[in-house]
Amino acid sequence: MNLKRIITSLILVFALGIQFSCEDDDQLNIIEGLDFVIATLNEEGTETGVLPQTAIPDGRIVYTVDFGNPNDTEDVFQTSGPLVIYDYPLETATYTITVTASLTGKEDVTITKDHTVVFVPAPDPGPGNGGGGGNTPTGIVGTWKLAPESGAFGVGPAQDDVSWFSSSADDVATRACLFDDEYVFNADGTFQNVLGADTWLEGWQGQDPEGCGAPVFPHDGSSSATYSFDGSSLTLTGTGAFMGLAKVNNDGELSDPSLAVDSITYIAELTENDTRLELDIQFGDIGFWKFKFVKQVEEAPIVGTWKLAPESGAFGVGPAQDDVSWFSSSSDDVATRACLFDDEYVFNADGTFQNILGADTWLEGWQGQDPEGCGAPVFPHDGSNAATYSFDGSSLTLSGTGAFMGLAKVNNAGELSDPSLAVDSITYIAELTENNTRLELDIQFGDIGYWKFKFVKQ
């Protein structure tokens, strides 16, 4: 949407009207042909402009524009022609805009038009690969499930008081058809209840005794729904849309599916880097329900534990990338260097990285081992320092003194001659293959050549 073009066009419409304002005096006092143009002025859909006009423009006419928000006493403006602008709430809703034209000595003229605000939330930053596990806050956008823990939902006489009932750890299994339900907040402002073949049903839905069963309309996710979220409150709009338990709404608890409400508003709080969502809702004047959700975060494909591939050519070196003509490990090395091939390289979902070397690993002369062979890991290449990683699909960076893949001596500047010279960061050229179960890394070490390492996911 070119907002500048829209505004320019509206001003042009107004300007064209002005040039006809010098009509006969008999016509100047006549209010006829009242109309107005509505324009959406921002990408989110909430900033709205109204430009009133009449068939015979008159600079003496005062236009009163009421944007029709019943919850705002400051949504009425007056103008003699210029565009008036109003910001609607951050939600999808339909409003009736009223324009009244007034001229001294003449009767007012009023017309109305319905205007639907389609709220599109600004895109949240996606679960970036920085830190590997995507630890950039992503807001409410994404897929959520009830937290698989005791106290995932409960009810009591006051907010945060679940003394009347609180779900147990056993409920995660006994009510598995409820705990696997998905609550999906899309970036375009739409909302979905994705319940699958079954969900938890109660007596008011015809299930006696309560238990798992096919979702019951309209709480089955088949109706269209939208949402608005401002950081402290969450509103679902759409008959049958809900979070946690379908019966709970602001007026009370449903006694029949046919009484489903069109909108529900929850008190909302995002915590733990936007991966946990707590909702509270006062249901009528009875009490408060509480629900706890966790975001379903898709793991980066590199997340997991890796080892050197137990095969010939698992690591090698040469003058160019993919050229290991200077040295290439053999199939015999899998056994003779078993203390190297059993080393683990662990990429955690939270973006942390670990070298887990066990009691021994392969040591070389620069680490004080002569001749080279198996020995106790040498600091700082022993996995004792904290480290993180970032992976973007084609490059892998380890950050943390002593963190490495394959051989500890290899880094972007060259090869170490002493453990005390360990670098703080190493970047590899990376490629995942075979359904993300194989990882090949290449690294140019100084201006000498390239090392290649091949790993398999455990």
What are the residues whose beta carbons fall under 8 Å from the beta carbon of 73, sequence distance 6 or more? none
Region of 321 on the Ramachandran plot (φ > 0 left; ψ -120 to 50 alpha; else beta): beta
- Report the amino acid identity of residue 103: L
Between residues 373 and 41, the one the model is more confident about: 373
| Mean pLDDT on 324-335 | 97
Tokens found for residue 75: 């949504």
The band of 120, judged by pLDDT with boundaries at 50, 70 and 90, is confident
Residue from 297, 236, 241 nearest 268 by CA:
236
Whether pLDDT at 271 is above 50: yes
Dist CA 280 CA 161 (whole Å)? 10
Dist CA 458 CA 452 (whole Å)? 20
Q: Are strands 142-146 and 182-185 parallel, antiparallel or unpaired?
A: antiparallel
Cis peptide bond prior to 419, omega within 30° of 0: no
CB 310 within 8 A of CB 449: no
How high is the pLDDT of residue 41?
82
pLDDT per position as a tens digit, 179-234: 999 999 999 899 999 999 999 999 999 999 999 999 999 999 999 999 999 999 99
Dist CA 128 CA 135 (whole Å)? 7
How far is residue 450 CA from its own chain's centroid? 38
CB 232 within 8 A of CB 268: yes
Whether pLDDT at 26 is above 80: no
- Report the amino acid identity of residue 377: P
Between residues 368 and 6, the one the model is more confident about: 368
How high is the pLDDT of residue 54?
83
CB 374 within 8 A of CB 363: yes
DSSP 118: -
Dist CA 349 CA 345 (whole Å)? 13
How high is the pLDDT of residue 123?
52
Would you state the torsion angle of the CA atoms of residues 263, 147, 143, 175, taken in this order, to the nearest 10 degrees? Answer: -80
How high is the pLDDT of residue 128?
30
Q: Give the DSSP letter string of 322-342.
A: TB--SEE--STHHHHTHHHHT
Whether pLDDT at 17 is above 50: no
pLDDT per position as a tens digit, 293-327: 999 977 789 999 999 999 999 999 999 999 999 99
| Mean pLDDT on 1-6 | 44
How high is the pLDDT of residue 8?
41
pLDDT per position as a tens digit, 134-149: 333 458 999 999 999 9
Between residues 375 and 104, the one the model is more confident about: 375
**Residue 73, SS3?**
coil
pLDDT per position as a tens digit, 77-114: 998 877 889 999 999 999 999 999 999 888 899 999 99
Between residues 399 and 17, the one the model is more confident about: 399
Q: Which residue has the tokens 């500890």?
A: 408
The band of 127, judged by pLDDT with boundaries at 50, 70 and 90, is very low
Size of the chain, expressed as the number of residues it contains: 458
Give the chain's mean pLDDT.
89
How much is the pTM? Answer: 0.47
How high is the pLDDT of residue 455?
98
